[in-house]
């Protein structure tokens, strides 16, 4: 079936952009909890030990009832062979895994969608307590390293108690941070918000830097300086997570 785009799409985009412009950033404090977990009888706590020369990350873990869907990112060694066929064979043969789909594969990396089931799922326990994942989950050795966020400190203790039913949990850190970990200046955030709201990142681009600078009452060079610095911080944060 061909996907039909609603005739109201342009109006919805316009309403959204008008509402988005000037939206204040959420700078409320958040508690960041970092855990190292040996998840018993789970493929994610086995794959790192099975392939110690590779690096594994889980992104976009989504609970689906008693199952979970993960985007698995595998990065090959700096030197040596980068054949991921053994990794895929391991995943497809694991009793907890219900399906594996390769999304993208390069010379030194692999992205795969992994669907699995577990009676004591970590992501389900996290979701039930209103906790959110802050960074990709690192799989190293026989441990999963989770970086989580929560608004109440006491939630951490309740979560660790719940997760101990699924495996061995070690608390690496619990710190209070600002929600906006990108540390954008007000002008950088405004420049970025304005660009996004007016379709600068759309394809095709709907507005020029000159027009954006005029909306903010800035010279084009000044506006682009704020925008490029904001973009640089976002890209740095993204690649730092791998």
Domain span at residue 187 reads 182-240
CB atoms within 10 A of CB 166: 21
In a domain, 10, yes or no: no
In a domain, 142, yes or no: yes
Structurally, the chain folds into a number of domains equal to 2
In a domain, 21, yes or no: no
More confident residue, 8 or 123: 123
More confident residue, 121 or 33: 33
Q: Tell how many helices (H) and how many strands (E) occur in the chain.
A: 8, 9
50-96 per-position pLDDT tens digit: 999 899 999 877 777 677 889 999 998 755 556 799 999 999 999 99
CB atoms within 10 A of CB 8: 9
How far apart are the C-alpha atoms of 199 and 10, rounded to whole Å?
12
**102 lies in the same domain as 134:** yes
**116 lies in the same domain as 207:** no
In a domain, 228, yes or no: yes
SS3 58: strand
**78 lies in the same domain as 149:** yes
Smallest CA-to-CA distance from 135 within 236, 48, 233, 60 is with: 60
pLDDT of residue 50: 94
CB atoms within 10 A of CB 77: 13
**114 lies in the same domain as 149:** yes
How far apart are the C-alpha atoms of 83 and 87, rounded to whole Å?
8
**166 lies in the same domain as 98:** yes
208-239 per-position pLDDT tens digit: 999 999 999 999 999 999 999 988 887 776 55
pLDDT of residue 76: 81
How far apart are the C-alpha atoms of 43 and 150, rounded to whole Å?
26
How far apart are the C-alpha atoms of 149 and 156, rounded to whole Å?
9
Q: What is the mean pLDDT of residues 177-203?
A: 80
């Amino acid at each position: 079936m061909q996907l039909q785009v609603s005739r109201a799409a342009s109006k919805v985009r316009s309403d959204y952009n008008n509402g988005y412009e000037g939206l204040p950033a959420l700078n409320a404090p958040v508690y960041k909890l970092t855990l190292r977990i040996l998840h018993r009888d789970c493929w994610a706590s086995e794959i790192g030990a099975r392939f110690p020369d590779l690096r594994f990350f889980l992104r976009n873990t989504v609970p689906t009832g008693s199952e979970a869907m993960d985007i698995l990112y595998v990065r090959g060694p700096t030197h040596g062979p980068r054949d991921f066929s053994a990794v895929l064979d391991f995943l497809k043969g694991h009793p907890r895994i219900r399906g594996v789909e390769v999304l993208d594969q390069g010379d030194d990396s692999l992205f795969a969608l992994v669907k699995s089931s577990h009676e004591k799922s970590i992501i389900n326990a996290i979701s039930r307590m209103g906790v959110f994942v802050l960074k990709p989950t690192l799989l190293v050795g026989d441990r999963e390293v989770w970086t989580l966020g929560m608004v109440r400190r006491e939630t951490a203790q309740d979560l660790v108690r719940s997760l101990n039913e699924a495996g061995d949990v070690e608390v690496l850190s619990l710190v209070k941070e600002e929600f906006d970990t990108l540390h954008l200046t007000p002008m950088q955030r405004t420049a970025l918000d304005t660009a996004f709201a007016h379709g600068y990142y759309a394809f095709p681009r709907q507005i020029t830097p000159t027009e954006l600078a005029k909306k903010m009452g800035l010279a084009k060079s000044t506006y682009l300086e704020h925008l490029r610095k904001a973009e640089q911080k976002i890209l740095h944060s993204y690649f730092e997570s791998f």
